[in-house]
A and B are shown apart, each in its own frame.
Chain A
Amino acid sequence: MSHVVLEDVTKRYAGHVALAGVSVSVEQGEMLALLGPSGCGKTTLLRCVAGLTAFDSGRLTIGGVDMTGVPVRRRPIGMVFQSYALFPNLTVRGNIGFPLTVRRETKTGVAERVEEMLELVGLSEQGDRLPNQLSGGQQQRVALARALAPRPEVLLLDEPLSALDAQVRHRLRDEVRRIQHQVGITTVFVTHDQAEALAISDRVAVMNAGDIEQCAAPSEIYTAPSTRFAAGFVGNRNTLELRTSGGRVTAGGAFDVEAPWERVLCMFRPEDVSLRREGPGARALVDVTVFLGATTRVYVQAEVNGSPATVFADLPSRAAASLSPGDAVRLSVDPGHVQVFPA
């Protein structure tokens, strides 16, 4: 049985639909990322699980127990906020111990658990500091330790890394995953950063306009998006709007795939694009090359079914080194990696 289950949850704000009948479940020990653009309803959904926002209709169960009407403080959750929300008057130890002291646990029990949590997040040396004496990354670790201290059943993370600089964010992202694995806690993680979602979650729920477009493993979301929105939102993709002929779309020889609609959007990733000097494919001219380190992004102007189109390809930098602006190339895409949606 799934650990956290949301069934047909709806929420409206003054006529605006924040959640349009969302149904999703999270398995025991699983990390589910809610991914989507601003205003898609991902944070509202998380707040509904926490009880900080009441939903209009639907049902939420945690561990099989109906949470409807259960106040926040009685829910078996721990939450980490984007802005950390550490208590400024309490030391690191005070913050981590807070959920335990409000539950009237013994002093010894609190002290032991606090030390355990400090060790888990690697802040044993900073226990007596106040939040304003810590870096952003350290503060977020304290917030994580505070959320985990009372051994909640579900951990809720509301864009916990978005306020950090890139380097710290990447390090902490991996650490959050390590800790989640180590503790084995069911986790719901809200983010607008697709790389973050794909990197650390077991499943990703791509949200748009208050609903879930696709919920699947990161690799599936990346390679086989089921909707046009999911395809466009996750990762970089080329998008070509083309006419079909005889139930197929050929893209001037770049690819040839089935297409059961008259006009279609063909989407494919830049790493699936091949550029050769000669051979089959659509004719194209190299426009710009952008060196990205291991790969180089090559923009080409192609002629697709009689119309000009810009396509970009991510090639290994060594392979792209021979290409210069103005070079004539042949562009092709593996048909198996082209997603087709009605235009």
Chain B
Amino acid sequence: MRRRIFLGLLGLYFGLPLLAALLYSVATRWTDTPLPDGYTLDHWIGVFGKPDVTSALLRSLLLSAVVVVVDVLLVVPAAYWSVVHNPRIGSVVQTIAVIPFAVPWVVVGAGLQLVTASFAPGLFGTFWLLAAATAAIAFPFMYWAVEGSLIAAGAVRLSEAAATCGANPVQTLTRVIFPAIRGGVVSGALLVVATAMNEFALAKILVGAKFETLPIWSARQFVSRTLGDPNALAVVTIFTFGFLFALSALVVRLGRGRVSTIGRTLR
């Protein structure tokens, strides 16, 4: 009974704000009444017709895509190396992975701004600097997910088995290890996308209005109350939540027991 009450309260805690945002996104007017005065889909239809919203959405998606690619390419081989070939560096990587959480992202952004202004002015204020910084702060999510998958899949034994089969390290990684940890990579990628999609501090400090991402656009709706569009903000909030939720569901569905190409071709 207690458990049910706890879960119910938890559901309310997470569900009510989303429900409120959803109602606001379809409300004609909602000020001092428990429920909106009326309902409309105009905000949903109109918001994606706004060039600033679509541009911000595309920028956030682009940032997420680049960050995911960078993190997958860097973290998967690194995690594989630390788990399979050099477990001693695992503790070092674990320590590094904590840094993004120990140091406020505002400080990371300000530090990067100072460093690039002095030593790499070409990078200062660019999308690539933002992508690199976001990849750096999001990498622990990828690392933890991939490391957990490698251990769970028995990557050490699988690598040894692949080697005794005659596979070189690249074949081992691409044909044995990666398919075995695909679930972990995808989970990590999802967390990285969520981080990149919602990252505000770095984007604000490093690129600001020059590359307005969805979180910066959202913040602008609050700051400029007279010009802002709170209904559109509610639409974007619900859309972002729905997008990430759908992505998670898709990922879970696709990750279930698939047979790789080699298995199919040999049937």
Q: CB within 8 Å of B: which residues of A?
A: 50-52, 71-75, 77-79, 81, 83, 85-91, 93-94, 97-99, 101-103, 107, 110-111, 114, 127-128, 130, 146-147, 150, 156
Which of chain B's residues have a CB closer than 8 A to the CB of A107? 265
Q: Are B267 and A127 in contact (CB under 8 A)?
A: yes
18 contacting pairs across A/B (C-beta < 8 A): A52-B163, A72-B160, A77-B164, A81-B157, A87-B179, A89-B182, A89-B263, A90-B179, A90-B260, A91-B259, A91-B263, A91-B266, A93-B266, A98-B175, A102-B171, A111-B266, A130-B259, A130-B263
Q: Are B165 and A94 in contact (CB under 8 A)?
A: no
Top 9 A-B residue pairs of the complex, sorted by shortest distance between their CB atoms:
A94-B263, A85-B161, A89-B179, A99-B165, A91-B263, A79-B164, A72-B163, A93-B266, A102-B167
Q: Are B267 and A99 in contact (CB under 8 A)?
A: no
Identify the closest chain B residue to A147 (Cβ).
B164
Q: Are B266 and A94 in contact (CB under 8 A)?
A: yes
- How distant is the Cα of A98 from the Cα of B265 in the complex, in angstroms? 12
Tell me, rounded to whole Å, the shortest Cβ–Cβ distance linking A165 to chain B.
21
> Is B148 an interface residue when CB atoms closer than 8 A count as contact?
no
Which of chain B's residues have a CB closer than 8 A to the CB of A85? 154, 157-158, 160-161
> Is B257 an interface residue when CB atoms closer than 8 A count as contact?
yes
Q: Are B157 and A87 in contact (CB under 8 A)?
A: no
Which of A73, A97, A107, A128 is the most central at the interface, judged by chain B CB atoms within 10 Å of its CB? Answer: A73
Which of chain A's residues have a CB closer than 8 A to the CB of B257? 130
Identify the closest chain B residue to A143 (Cβ).
B161
Known: A81-B157, A102-B166. 7 other contacts (CB 8 A): A50-B164, A86-B161, A87-B158, A89-B263, A94-B260, A110-B266, A146-B165
Q: CB within 8 Å of A: which residues of B?
A: 153-154, 157-158, 160-168, 171, 175-176, 179-180, 182, 257-260, 262-267
- How distant is the Cα of A86 from the Cα of B179 in the complex, in angstroms? 13
Tell me, rounded to whole Å, the shortest Cβ–Cβ distance linking B145 to chain A.
18
Tell me, rounded to whole Å, the shortest Cβ–Cβ distance linking B255 to chain A.
11
Tell me, rounded to whole Å, the shortest Cβ–Cβ distance linking B174 to chain A.
11
Number of cross-chain contacts by CB at 8 Å: 102
Which of chain A's residues have a CB closer than 8 A to the CB of B179? 87, 89-90
- How distant is the Cα of A88 from the Cα of B258 in the complex, in angstroms? 10
Contact for B157 among A77, A83, A97, CB less than 8 A: A83
Tell me, rounded to whole Å, the shortest Cβ–Cβ distance linking B180 to chain A.
6
Q: Are A98 and B167 in contact (CB under 8 A)?
A: yes
Contact for B168 among A52, A102, A128, CB less than 8 A: A102
Identify the closest chain A residue to B262 (Cβ).
A94
Q: Are A102 and B263 in contact (CB under 8 A)?
A: no
Given A52-B160, A85-B154, the answer on whether A150 and B165 have CB atoms closer than 8 Å is: yes
Q: Are B166 and A73 in contact (CB under 8 A)?
A: yes
- How distant is the Cα of A16 from the Cα of B168 in the complex, in angstroms? 31
- How distant is the Cα of A37 from the Cα of B235 in the complex, in angstroms? 68
Tell me, rounded to whole Å, the shortest Cβ–Cβ distance linking A35 to chain B.
22
Contact for A128 among B153, B154, B158, B267, CB less than 8 A: B267
Q: Are B262 and A101 in contact (CB under 8 A)?
A: yes
Which of B164, B168, B259 is the most central at the interface, judged by chain A CB atoms within 10 Å of its CB? Answer: B164
Identify the closest chain A residue to B178 (Cβ).
A89
- How distant is the Cα of A53 from the Cα of B69 in the complex, in angstroms? 35
Tell me, rounded to whole Å, the shortest Cβ–Cβ distance linking B114 to chain A.
45
Which of chain A's residues have a CB closer than 8 A to the CB of B165? 73, 78, 98-99, 102, 146, 150
Identify the closest chain A residue to B261 (Cβ).
A94
Q: Are A73 and B262 in contact (CB under 8 A)?
A: no
- How distant is the Cα of A335 from the Cα of B171 in the complex, in angstroms? 61
Which of chain B's residues have a CB closer than 8 A to the CB of A86? 161
Which of chain A's residues have a CB closer than 8 A to the CB of B263? 89-91, 93-94, 130
Which of chain B's residues have a CB closer than 8 A to the CB of A81? 157, 160-161
Which of chain B's residues have a CB closer than 8 A to the CB of A52? 160, 163-164
Tell me, rounded to whole Å, the shortest Cβ–Cβ distance linking A213 to chain B.
28
- How distant is the Cα of A79 from the Cα of B266 in the complex, in angstroms? 22
Which of chain A's residues have a CB closer than 8 A to the CB of B157? 81, 83, 85
Tell me, rounded to whole Å, the shortest Cβ–Cβ distance linking A111 to chain B.
7
Given A91-B267, A130-B257, the answer on whether A97 and B262 have CB atoms closer than 8 Å is: yes
Identify the closest chain A residue to B267 (Cβ).
A128
Which of chain A's residues have a CB closer than 8 A to the CB of B171? 102
